[in-house]
Amino acid sequence: MAWVYLNGRFLPLEEACVPVTDRGFLFGDGVYEVIPAYGGRLFRWPHHLQRLQNSLDGIRLVNPLSDAQWRDMLEELLLRNRAQAGGDNDQAVYLQVTRGSAPKRDHCFPRDTVPTVYAVSNPIPPPDPAIARDGVAAVTLADSRWARCDIKAVTLLPNVLSRQQAVDAGASEAILIRDGLAIEGTSSNLFVVCDQRLCTPPKSAYMLPGITRDLVLELAARNGIACDETDIGASTLAQAGEIWITSSTREIVPVTRLDGQAVGTGAPGPLWRTMSELYRDYKAEVRAGRAH
């Protein structure tokens, strides 16, 4: 039985309900965050909290909780679900804030609504050894999303459709192309290795500012790995020695096949292996309380 938090209460998942008039249900009028927790410690918490605030600002919704209230609530939720799972397991927190419910369905913001706050955590499965051995496949697709992808909004239908198109083609992810540039995946950020340099697209309104993306940049700078934030043309993908996708729960995943063609040697590359080790070391520091 998983515990959830809903509007000031902790309760079993199967008992959690929201009204059908909630604007998150009717309009997708809300934002969310996904935060790993290693050894019960929220990973990159200040960064996730700031991104949540940026998303709330982007949809003109006042943050319903203080920083301390968010942390206290999520730590209690983690404690309950880790105990329920029967061990010191790693968890992924999903939290969502919508504009709440109003008696009348109207596109305009209703007056005096109370935001709906929901959170749940679930165990993070162990890494799949097949990914480290073989990597994953991806396809390129046209980016059909809106122009504010920097807001982590719950309105994800274009992402869902593109991801399913990738799965239907036997791939794990779709890399989205807009105006001739590779932007990101449907639920991941993008890195490529060209001429021994690690490159990732610069932040813009067309991409989500990934927490894992930023950590990879930090680890690269700290360890002398040449890295650039620069536009990546769609044609560059075909020439890349390595391609990675990154996210909070998938971490750093090597793409070894793109549109049916091998990337580089067709196996996870040496720079990916180096960065994966650096990332694992950082997670160990988080578990030990020496990093956040």
Angle between helices 211-222 and 45-58 (to 10 degrees): 140
Helix (H) or strand (E) holding 282: helix 270-287
Query: What's the maximum distance between 2 C-alpha atoms anywhere in the chain?
Result: 59
Task: Decide: 77 and 3 in contact? Cβ < 8 Å.
Answer: yes
Contacts for 188 with CB less than 8 Å, ≥ 6 apart: 173, 210, 245, 246, 247, 250, 253
What does 32-75 look like in DSSP terms, one character per residue?
EEEEEEETTEETTHHHHHHHHHHHHHHTT---SS-HHHHHHHHH
Identify the sign of the CA torsion 26, 32, 37, 40: negative
Annotated catalytic residue 152: yes
Catalytic residue among 104, 152, 203, 283, which?
Answer: 152
What residues act catalytically?
Answer: 152
